[in-house]
Structure 1
Amino acid sequence: MDHFESWKDLLNPEFYIQLGGFWLILFIIFAETGLFIGFFLPGDSLLFISGIYAVDIISTTFGSTGSDFLDTTILATAVALAAVIGNEIGYWFGYKSGPMLYEKKDTFLFKKKYLFKAHDFFEDHGTVAVILARFLPIVRTFAPIVAGIVKMDKKKFFLHNIIGAVAWSYILIFAGHYLDKLFMDQFDIDLKKKLELIIIVIVLVTTLPIVIKFFFTKDKERPTQD
């Protein structure tokens, strides 16, 4: 798969890995929060599958270190850095122009209800929400913006941002890499040939709770604005 064939490719993590490799992966992770319109892009599944291809990705981009662990660490560290930068830009945007978002009309790429949901999540979980949000699609896109809107302490946000980004990138990328090796060594199963199933499972596990909360729970009443 080396070229765009249909809109479905946009939801397929392998498409981005084959199309742009290392640099496109970093841009997508950054865009999820830094551009706040990336909530529809693959995040968790992209990292897990990037872990499966970690050695190939690093070898193609920089040349392999000769160590699977180091190659995977380089990829996870770069992804964590992109995630931190994205969140910081999201925070800055929320800090400077957050109130404007509550006046913004819904578009295809922006839904005000997602902003409200992220705000509720932030209120329920406090500052640790910055860490937890990393593992929740949609919420992680808007959480840094909400943190900026509510004027969360910049140093606290930065610390939680780093913790969340490192935990998210390292857990998913290393899980992908070493589960692939485990399944191949122990069960002779090549996860690269099961990517569609893996994507479906990850999407269901990560998004089902969000879908239930977003669409099947009663929204908190919002004060009407004059």
Structure 2
Amino acid sequence: MTMLLLTNSWLEWGGTALVAVLVFVETGFLLGLVVPGGETLLFTAGLLCGVDQLKIPIALLVPLLIVSAVLGDLTGFWLGQKLGNRLEHQPNTFIFKRRYWEKAKNYYRQHPHRTLLVGRFLPIIRTFNPLLAASSGMPLSRFLGLTGVGCVAYISTLVLAGYWLGQLFPELGQYVEYIFMGIVALVIGTLLLKAYQERNQPDA
């Protein structure tokens, strides 16, 4: 019971800030390649808002997360300008994988504008989008317009879908601690798996 009360209290007052930070760092610092579940995170945020576990109106939650996503993309764009072509020679690290970079780069070359609009729904593409746009020489104004539309569509769709489910089934609020622990287990499990693969297959 104590654990449940702590979880609920933390979600009520700190959950919104945590979600906003995670949305920002996903593309701002490439952490989307390490920490999984961007879509799951947004859907869950909407769900928790729908069952009144996040103490913020949905009309404020959606714009807040859109701003966080756009700021993350702008940070990634700035990093792309600073790094320039150095990413072409960047070796594999725990965060950066060349196969991911090549996959995203090939997709971006084929559909540069479409990638910024719909690439938000594609995990690897989403993370590398700002870097690719910057390294390709795309003007900041064009990037901001395209990524802004993509962020609005991506955030609104997932958050509102979760919110709708929470409103439709308010009894889901009884299981909020299990939802929270499931997300924690997903993140920790994936990080451990990636660390294991990095240690045993450094050239993969």
Normalising by structure 1, report the TM-score.
Answer: 0.68
Q: How many Å apart are 1:52 and its aligned residue? A: 0.8
Within the alignment, does 1:79 sit opposite 2:73 as a pair? no
Report matched runs for 1:7-22 at 5 Å: 20-22=14-16
Change (3 A) 1:177 1:190: same
CA distance in 2, matches of 1:145, 1:17: 32
Q: 1:39 aligns to what?
A: 33
CA distance in 2, matches of 1:117, 1:73: 36
Partner-residue secondary structure (3-state), 1:151: coil
Q: 2:155 aligns to what?
A: 169
Report matched runs for 1:52-201 at 5 Å: 52-54=47-49, 56=52, 58-59=54-55, 71-182=57-168, 184=169, 190=172, 193=175
Report matched runs for 1:204-215 at 5 Å: none
Say which structure is richer in helix: 2
Q: How many Å apart are 1:20 and its aligned residue? A: 3.8
Q: How many Å apart are 1:102 and its aligned residue? A: 1.6
Change (3 A) 1:57 1:162: farther
Q: How many Å apart are 1:144 and its aligned residue? A: 0.9
CA distance in 2, matches of 1:93, 1:127: 20
CA distance in 2, matches of 1:160, 1:94: 17
Conservation of the 8 A alpha-carbon contact between 2:120 and 2:154: yes
Q: Of the candidates 18, 23, 41, which is equivalent to residue 17 of structure 2? A: 23
Change (3 A) 1:108 1:192: farther
CA distance in 2, matches of 1:141, 1:19: 28
Instruction: Count matched residues.
Output: 173
Conservation of the 8 A alpha-carbon contact between 2:76 and 2:130: yes
Say which structure, 1 or 2, has more relative contact order (CA 8 Å, 6+ apart).
Answer: 2
Partner-residue secondary structure (3-state), 1:145: helix
Note the alpha carbon deviations across 1:66-95, whole angstroms, 9 max, x for none: xxxxx1121111000000001011111112
Deviating more after overlay: 89-98 vs 78-87 = 89-98
Normalising by structure 2, report the TM-score.
Answer: 0.74
Note the alpha carbon deviations across 1:10-48, whole angstroms, 9 max, x for none: xxxx9x958941111111001110011332322100000
Conservation of the 8 A alpha-carbon contact between 1:26 and 1:79: yes
Partner-residue secondary structure (3-state), 1:190: helix
Match of 2:147, as an amino acid?
N
CA distance in 1, matches of 2:47, 2:118: 24
Match of 1:26, as an amino acid?
A
* RMSD over aligned Cα atoms: 2.8
Note the alpha carbon deviations across 1:153-172, whole angstroms, 9 max, x for none: 22111001111111111111
Conservation of the 8 A alpha-carbon contact between 2:76 and 2:131: yes
CA distance in 2, matches of 1:57, 1:99: 45
Conservation of the 8 A alpha-carbon contact between 2:33 and 2:127: yes
- Unmatched segments (≥5 aa) in structure 1: 3-13, 65-70, 204-226
Q: Among all aligned residue pairs of Structure 1 and Structure 2, give the percentage whose two residues are the same amino acid.
A: 31
